Each structure stands twice: as C-alpha cells, then as structure tokens.
C-alpha cells in the first residue's frame, strides 16, 4: 500500500512509489488512483464506487507526492489552484554534470515525438507544441561522480517536462532510461519532494514533504535533510 501522508474528508496526500502509474492507461496495469480507491473503500467500509479526483500526475518512473480530492468540490478548487499556479510542486533531482550553474530557468517548446512515443523539445512555431517553464537551483555537486542535486520548481505541468528539458540542456537525470541512460532496476533520480496547497475547504495553506529514495540520492543525504527541514510537514 502507498504511504498516506495526510488524510481528511476532502483531501488525500499520498506518496507514490516509483514505477507505479498515477492513472490507468492502455497497459491495464494497476495505478495509484485504483489502489487508493480500494484503500478508502476498505478503511471506511464504503458501499459502491468511491470517488477520488486526480489533481495532478507524476510520470510512471517518478516517486513522490500526489494530491487526490475526496469530493467534487475539493477537486474543482484544487484544480483551480493548479491552473492559477497557486499549488507549488517542488522536486529534487540528481543530474549528470557537476558544473551545472547554481540556478537558472528553462523555457522550451515541447511536442509529442511520434517516433518514440515520448516528448521532445522543438523549434518555435512547431505545430502542436506547448510552452514549458521550470526553475532550478543547485543544492550540491559531487565532482567524483560528476553529478549535482537540484531543487526544481515547475511553472507548467507538461508530460515528461523536467526530464526532457534537463536532457535537452545537457544535464539528463541520473537513471532516466528514456531520455538518458541508466542501469535496469534502479529508479530514476527524480522525486516529488514537496507539495504546497491551500486546503479546499478550510482555506489553510499546507505543505507536505517526502524523502527521495534511490541510490543516486544517498550521497546527498545531508543536503536533502536541510531541504526538507525548511519545509515542515503539515499536521495530520
């Protein structure tokens, strides 16, 4: 079962493990939404179908925090926060290239890559492209492994956005098997580590945190501890 970080009558904050779909797709594989519907049904003995509104997603290989709404009203209000950029999603990533600048912003045009089924950065004016914007800050670097730990904040939420943009600028994420390279069996070094939102009924600003897992993050344990300590978890 996925780790439940926060739960009340309107809101469910869950830690999605790597390699679990957030929402069902054509593969028919089990997904986070189905698992959490089953959790709610069993915990509260609910008859019939259980409602859970998915507010945002994480790529299948990526672990971290996902917000689910337990009522239609909560789903509408949380989705509005997302559209208005009032929901703050923060990620930690380990990337190749210890010499990456201390901070920066990436603005690209992304479009579906028909050949690979993934996403690619495309020139301005390309058809069906969407603007993608992210900001990063380097928290630490390791010259021995040639990697760096980044704090990433999204302005837009495009498919595969972080992975594609960082690979395009020459700093692919460690263990990204689609847009970089890696060793099978080890998770991608990208994690939804902090999520800040306004509670859909109480109007309270709340921050939730999740510690990244995976070998690539282990050498940056102290920096990750400091990052998480700056973002105290919400009271359950």
Which one from 59, 128, 176, 225 is the annotated catalytic residue? 59
One DSSP character per residue, 56-79 reads ----TT-EEEEEEESSHHHHHHHH
As beta bridge partners, residue 120 has: 111
Tell how strand 63-69 and strand 190-198 pair up.
parallel
Q: Are 13 and 70 in contact (CB under 8 A)?
A: no
Alpha-carbon span 56 to 142, nearest angstrom: 32
Name 197's bridge partners. 206
Angle at 46 between CA 52 and CA 21, to 5 degrees: 35
Report d(CA 236, CA 224) in Å as an integer.
22
- Report the run of H or E that residue 208 belongs to, with start and end: strand 205-209
How would DSSP label each residue in 18-38? TT-BSS--TT---BHHHHHHH
Catalytic site residue 59?
Answer: yes
Q: Are 3 and 45 in contact (CB under 8 A)?
A: no
Give the burial class of 114: count Cβ atoms within 10 A of its Cβ; 0-12 exposed, 13-18 middle, 19 or more buried: exposed
Positions marked catalytic: 59
């Amino acid at each position: 079962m996925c780790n439940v970080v926060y739960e009340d009558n309107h809101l469910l904050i869950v830690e999605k493990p790597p390699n679990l779909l957030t929402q069902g797709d054509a593969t028919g594989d089990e997904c986070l939404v189905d698992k959490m519907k089953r959790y709610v049904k069993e915990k509260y003995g609910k008859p019939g179908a259980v409602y859970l509104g998915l507010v945002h997603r994480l790529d299948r290989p990526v672990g971290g925090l996902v917000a689910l709404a337990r009522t239609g009203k909560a789903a509408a209000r949380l989705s509005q926060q997302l559209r208005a950029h009032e929901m703050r999603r923060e990620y930690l990533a380990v990337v190749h290239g210890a010499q990456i600048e201390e901070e920066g912003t990436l603005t690209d045009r992304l479009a579906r890559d028909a050949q690979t089924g993934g996403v690619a950065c495309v020139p301005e004016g390309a058809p069906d492209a969407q603007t993608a914007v992210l900001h990063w800050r380097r928290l630490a670097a390791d010259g021995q492994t040639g990697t760096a730990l980044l704090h990433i904040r999204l302005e837009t939420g495009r498919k595969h956005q972080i992975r594609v943009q960082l690979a395009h600028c020459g700093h692919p994420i460690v263990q990204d098997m689609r847009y970089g390279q890696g060793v099978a069996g080890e998770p991608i070094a990208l994690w939804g580590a902090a999520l800040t939102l306004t509670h859909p009924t109480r109007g309270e600003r709340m921050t939730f945190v999740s510690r990244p897992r995976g070998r690539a993050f282990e050498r940056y344990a102290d920096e990750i501890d400091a990052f998480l300590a700056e973002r105290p978890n919400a009271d359950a």
